[in-house]
Amino acid sequence: MAKKSKIAILTGGGDCPGINAVIRAVAKKAMLELGLEVVGISDGYEGLLHNRHRILHYEDVSGIINLGGTILGTSNKANPYRCPVKKEGSLEFKDLSQAVIDNFVRLEVECLVCIGGDGTLSIANRLYKDGLPVIGIPKTIDNDIRGTDITFGFDSAVYVATEGLDRVRTTAQSHHRVMIVEVMGRNAGWIALQAGIASGADVILIPEIPYDLDIIAEKVNDRDCRGKRFTITVISEGARPKGGEKVVQRIVKESTDPIRLGGIGFVLGSEIEAETGIETRTVVLGHLQRGGVPTPFDRVLATRLGTKAVDMLMEGRFGQMVGVKGNDLVEVSLEEVARGQRRVPVGDALIVSARSVGTCFGDIRDVMPQV
Q: Is the pLDDT of residue 273 over 90?
A: yes
Active site residue 214: no
Q: Is the pLDDT of residue 11 over 60?
A: yes
The mean pLDDT value for 56-80 works out to 93
State the pairing for strand pair 328-333/320-325: antiparallel
pLDDT for residue 90? 82
All domains of the chain, ordered by start, with CATH? 6-152+294-337 (3.40.50.450), 159-291+345-356 (3.40.50.460)
pLDDT for residue 252? 67
State the pairing for strand pair 320-325/280-284: unpaired
pLDDT for residue 1? 44
Encode pLDDT of 291-310 as tens digits.
899 999 999 999 999 999 99
The mean pLDDT value for 115-139 works out to 96
Would you mind telling me the total number of residues written for the chain in this entry?
Answer: 371
pLDDT for residue 254? 66
pLDDT for residue 253? 67
Q: Is the pTM of this model over 0.75?
A: yes
Beta-carbon contacts of 130 under 8 Å, excluding residues fewer than 6 positions away, are 97, 101
pLDDT for residue 85? 83
Instruction: Report the mean per-residue pLDDT for the chain.
Output: 92
pLDDT for residue 260? 76
| Helix or strand (DSSP H, E) at 160 | helix 154-175
pLDDT for residue 181? 97
The mean pLDDT value for 316-344 works out to 96
The sign of the CA dihedral 54, 123, 209, 148 is: negative
pLDDT for residue 367? 56
Please spell the DSSP secondary structure of 92-134, one letter per residue.
EEE--HHHHHHHHHHHT-S-EEEEE-HHHHHHHHHHHHTT--E
Percentage of the chain beyond pLDDT 90 is 82
pLDDT for residue 243? 92
| Confidence grade of residue 192 (pLDDT, cut at 50, 70, 90) | very high
Encode pLDDT of 231-259 as tens digits.
999 999 999 999 998 888 777 666 666 77
The mean pLDDT value for 263-283 works out to 94
pLDDT for residue 330? 97
How far, in whole angstroms, is CA 150 from its chain's centroid? 10
Q: Are 305 and 329 in contact (CB under 8 A)?
A: yes
The mean pLDDT value for 144-165 works out to 96
The mean pLDDT value for 171-198 works out to 94
Q: Does residue 367 or residue 13 have the better pLDDT?
A: 13
Q: Is the pLDDT of residue 112 over 70?
A: yes
Cα separation, 276 vs 176, in Å, equals 13
Q: Are 145 and 137 in contact (CB under 8 A)?
A: no
Cα separation, 217 vs 29, in Å, equals 55
pLDDT for residue 371? 45
The active-site residue out of 43, 118, 142, 155 is 142
The mean pLDDT value for 308-328 works out to 96
